[in-house]
Amino acid sequence: MDVPQSAVPGHGQDDDDSNAESHQSSEDNVEEATVERAGNITMPRKNRRKSLTSTKSDAKSDPNRLLRSKILSAAVYCGDTHAIQEAKRMFHDWRINGTFIHPNLRAVVYRTGVRYGTEEDWRHCWKVYNTSTIPSEKKLMLKAMAQTQNPWLMQQ
């Protein structure tokens, strides 16, 4: 008995459309799950939606804390406005109030602060660079200052 191919699931035109839709929704689900996993890694269990940069509940042996800077850096690189605003806020708090920035987050916060900041932000990093005696801090400042969108600042 011959069965028309259109009657077999996956062979008819309508089935192709539904397969494409289910494939698309499957991709959407995978993307949502990936974002959720990233949130689970980057956020402390109590406040997963609160901040990409929260480190208050970190234990010294917590391997997830090491991923936070990578995820924050990737989010800033991709133009995620929440991540950029959070990094800018941390930079501003550090510059104005001397607020502590976790060492794992300093590079991305400094770079973001200068890239999306003002000339005063760049000049603050220049001042820190010139007064610091710690080579690693000087290196972080140089890399941050290189992120400026005003290249004439670097020629001074």
All structural domains of the chain with their residue ranges: 65-155
pLDDT on residue 64: 72
Contacts of 154 (CB under 8 A, 6+ apart): 145, 146, 148
pTM over 0.75: no
* Rounded Cα distance, 144 and 137, in Å: 10
pLDDT on residue 39: 55
* Rounded Cα distance, 141 and 128, in Å: 7
pLDDT (tens place) for every residue of the chain, 156 residues total: 554 554 444 444 444 444 444 444 544 454 454 455 555 544 544 444 444 555 554 445 567 777 888 888 899 999 999 999 999 999 999 999 999 999 989 999 999 999 999 999 999 999 999 999 999 999 999 999 999 888 887 777
Tokens for 108, please give them: 């991305």
Length of the chain measured in residues:
156
